[in-house]
Amino acid sequence: MTEDRLLGGRLTLRQPRDGFRVAVDTVLLAAAVPAQEGERVFEPGAGVGAAALCLAARVAGVRVAGIEPQADLVRLAGENARLNGMQGAVDIMIGAVGGALPPRLGGQFDHVMANPPFLEEARAQRPRNDARAAAHVEGEAGLADWVACAAGALRRGGTLTLIHRADRLNAVLAALGGGFGEIVVYPFWPRAGQAARRFVLRAVKGSRAPLILAAGMTLHEADGSGFTPEADAVLRGAALEI
């Protein structure tokens, strides 16, 4: 195990030394969720609870429930919630995308956030570490299953926020189908003048409003000196306004 810090040191996170490691994507995802005090958020594939904790640290009074198929990560998520005094705000339980949601979770949530595996199994070089492979490579559950899981958890008018690779935007939009609208695609540019590698997408269940391509955010200074001021503020806990 390692013990790491997020949000400029505000959060303590214990996670496996080998396997999936929490990165910038996790913080960006949590920062983009438009949750308000008293609202409920659902996260499939919650891992060790990092995104849930980041969101709960930013929005007082929010409640985050999540599912995670790996029992060791569920235990760590509970430990991380206790370490940060967020037992009442974050609850991660055993469950997998593609399985039936418990009745108490269906259609109850104001928001869903998700960081699905980025790689298609047929095209990916599978990592040797099984936990890392599960996080990075699609298994039995593909993008359509992740969207269906989100749709099943959301109330009508609720939002889905997810982060993915730019080269799979087409696949993500296809998976959303006709069940979501008011889609905003928010790209992340590594440096000014470079092609986007990641995007955050927000969509509203049941909406028919058209898609918007946002200006996005540049993450790193051109000279390699670090994050831009805008990106640094988000990584320290500010909301990502999209």
Distance CA 126, CA 134 (A): 9
Q: How many CB atoms lie within 10 A of CB 90?
A: 27
Looking at residue 135, its pLDDT comes to 64
User: What is the per-residue pLDDT across 152-191, written as a single tens digit (0 to 9) for each?
Assistant: 999 999 999 999 999 999 999 999 999 999 999 999 999 9
26: enclosing H helix or E strand: helix 24-32
Looking at residue 130, its pLDDT comes to 61
Looking at residue 101, its pLDDT comes to 78
Handedness of CA 35, 239, 159, 54 (dihedral sign): negative
Distance CA 55, CA 53 (A): 5
Phi, psi (degrees; rounded to nearest 5) at 118: -80, -25
Going from the N-terminus, what domains does the chain have, and what CATH number goes with each? 2-235 (3.40.50.150)
Parts of the chain with a pLDDT under 50: none
Distance CA 123, CA 92 (A): 31
Answer whether 115's CB lies under 8 Å from 22's CB. no
Task: Using DSSP, state whether 161 is helix, strand or coil.
Answer: strand
Answer whether 136's CB lies under 8 Å from 124's CB. yes
Looking at residue 107, its pLDDT comes to 86
